[in-house]
Amino acid sequence: MPAGSRVIFISTTVCHFSSVTPNYLVYAATKGAVEQLTRVLAKDLAKSGITVNAIAPGPTGTELFFKGKSEQLVNAIASTNPFGKLGTPEEIASVAAFLSGDDSKWIVGQVLRVNGGMA
C-alpha cells in the first residue's frame, strides 16, 4: 500500500458491553480480535504513512439487524440509546468517509464507537 493509504476495519459496540449474552460470544470474540489487530497493525504501518483504525457501530438499522427481530424487540433496543433510535447506515458511512480523508491523518490505532452514546 502506498503512503497515505487508509485501513478501516469494522468492529462492534458489542465488544464494549458487559451484558453480552452467550449467543454473541463468537461474534464478540472475533470483533475483539479485530480491535487488537487495529492497534497492533497501526503501529507497524504508521511508519509507512498508512493509518489503521476501526469503526465500532452500535445497533444499526440494516436488513441483517432487523432479521428475526420483532418490532417490540427493535423498539426496546432503540430505546436504550440516548437518542431513542437505531443508527443508520449513512451515519456509519460518514465516519468511514471522515477516516478516509486528509482531516483524519493524525488518527491512528483507534476504535471509534459510532453508537449515539449507547456505550
So which residues are the catalytic ones?
27
Parallel, antiparallel, or unpaired for β 51-57 and 6-10? parallel
42 grid coordinates = 497501526
Give the separation between CA 53 and CA 96, rounded to whole angstroms. Answer: 10
For residue 117, give the DSSP letter: T
Q: Is the Cβ–Cβ distance between 27 and 14 less than 8 Å?
A: yes
Whole-number CA gyration radius for the chain: 15
